[in-house]
Structure 1
């Protein structure tokens, strides 16, 4: 199947966004995809903020994007936009780092007033980076995500069903892309 890079743009070590992405990663893995998780917060701040394109961590991260067939780019929404941490990474990557890739942009936030951030703040950036196909994203309210003391994730039923549907659409799109590339090769 496909190789998927799953990117969490949350700056928080106890992030609901990251927990939700790891939950989605398991679904993709169960469908036969190889999933590589990346928490942007683990990258060196000096390299991100100083735009150090030669820093080994940034070089390795760019290589992860290059090798991926598909990318899940998850972010909490702050002030009607993706996190600044995520944006710092996306700004460092090559202009067409997402060229030919299928991308799924899920987001989390505290209010339904932020739901359009996927379409107005994240999708244009992903598109400008050359994504071949941007699958319908999904905005999940923070109140619909519960992380237990043991790290177990619970997602409210309606949100869980919607997330499963968009992940399956992403997986199907990856499968179609992989089949086309195999036929062409």
Structure 2
């Protein structure tokens, strides 16, 4: 063998070990980053281009499983609230595909895992697309700083959502009692 050159079999083993280690570290990093969002979240402000869907569903907690997140949503239908677990597979850095009827995509637009979560969602079903911008806090009814609130306002406007389609849940959460 030539000095300093690995034989083909050793070279193949080296690259497969490197490939495995790289992907394993990436997998651990994804779990670490995702696990920062685990726990209780309180809805503050919800905006949607479909007023009916605005108060119909919101996140109340997040959990992490192997290669996906689990969003625990509270669904409000005909004045009644129920909890639903929805699995989400990570597609890109901040993009998740929810396993729920329709083509549901959730984007984590901005976050401080100890303070707030700002997300954008789209759902395409039966030829209709619903867009939503949602702001959550770790603290019940607590508005995050004004800079984050301004970012929320800029986001919903950039998606063509009207101010009258913003629901403020800082004072009242219609499904709060069902979570106790």
Do both share a fold (TM > 0.5)? Answer: no
> Going by fraction, where is strand more abundant, 1 or 2?
2
> Going by fraction, where is helix more abundant, 1 or 2?
1
Please state which band the TM-score falls in when normalised by the shorter chain.
Answer: 0.3 to 0.5
- Structure showing greater radius of gyration is 2
